[in-house]
Amino acid sequence: MRKQIAAANWKMNLSLQEGETLLETIIKQDGNLSDNRKVVFAVPAPYLVMAVGKIASEPHIHVAAQNVYSKKSGAYTGETSVAMLASIGVDHAIIGHSERREYFNESNQLLAEKVKICLEENITPIFCCGEALPVREANGQNDFVTRQLEESLFNLPAEQIVKVVIAYEPIWAIGTGKTASSDQAQEMHAHIRSQFAAKYGDEVANSISILYGGSVKASNAKDIFGKPDVDGGLVGGSSLIADEFIAIIKALK
Ligand code: 13P
């Protein structure tokens, strides 16, 4: 079975103390995790060391960076390299979140470099894709997302692409309380999988986890995660509330 993943994206929220309490509360719960059912916490950069420490004895819980820099090392003041992340035990990174694409002008080409450099350090990229509302209204979402995949991922060989996790996050559903319906999510996830199948074959396509993100909460997670091509979620606001996120973990297939 493909890995089912509940990933928390705290974005730029919480104090260190609030983050510690939240992690402790969630980790204490029995989420019925396994090699195929895992949890990832994408915490703000200053809390990564703390988070890695908290999950040290939890084999199915991982810590992610919310971003990485595209260069290996050097005079890039303020940036964080993948080697630094790997050296503290971070093994996942969110790449190409729509907020970074929008506010920091991250292009598909730059994101291709970031994905590649993550893989070189055995950091699993959680690659975000998804369309804005005008694209959806013009029914252009499939072509838009295909282009994001082509320009950032499809230069990778099959043995690398299987290490990437995809997060489909329609921009119009992020932080808006407006979720894509589970059918809309399924439709896009099936489309994404079909693009992988066309490029890499069915076996590769069927092994890639595709998460849904955008106003996932305890009350809708089961419905969305229940769809055949939805392999869990990337969760913003609801990941900041212990009971909500615990319920979301329990809603994994
Ligand atoms: P919300 O769950 O707050 O809509 O955010 C989704 C998201 O952007 C996760 O990366």
The CB-based long-range contact list for 67-71 (8 Å cut-off, 24+ gap) reads 67/93, 67/94, 67/95, 67/97, 67/100, 68/93, 68/95, 68/114, 68/117, 68/118, 68/123, 69/114, 70/110, 70/113, 70/114, 70/117, 71/117
Q: What is the pLDDT of residues 169-218, one digit of tens each?
A: 999 988 887 788 999 999 999 999 999 999 999 999 999 999 999 999 99
pLDDT at residue 176 in the model? 82
pLDDT at residue 118 in the model? 98
Query: What is the extent of the structural domain holding 38?
Result: 4-250
pTM higher than 0.85, yes or no? yes
Q: What is the pLDDT of residues 1-10, one digit of tens each?
A: 799 999 999 9
Looking at every residue in the chain, the average pLDDT score rounds to 96
**Residues tagged active-site:** 97, 169
- Low-confidence stretches of the chain (pLDDT < 70) are none
Answer yes or no: is the C-beta of 214 below 6 A from any ligand 1 atom. Answer: yes
Cα separation values, 44 from 13, 15, 93, 97, Å: 8, 10, 11, 14
Answer yes or no: is the C-beta of 218 below 6 A from any ligand 1 atom. Answer: no
Distance of alpha carbon 185 from alpha carbon 224, whole angstroms? 7
pLDDT at residue 63 in the model? 98
CATH number at residue 125: 3.20.20.70
User: What total number of domains does the chain contain?
Assistant: 1
Distance of alpha carbon 223 from alpha carbon 114, whole angstroms? 33
Q: Kindly report the protein residue whose alpha carbon is nearest to atom 2 of ligand 1.
A: 236
Distance between Cα 151 and ligand 1 center (Å): 23
pLDDT at residue 158 in the model? 97
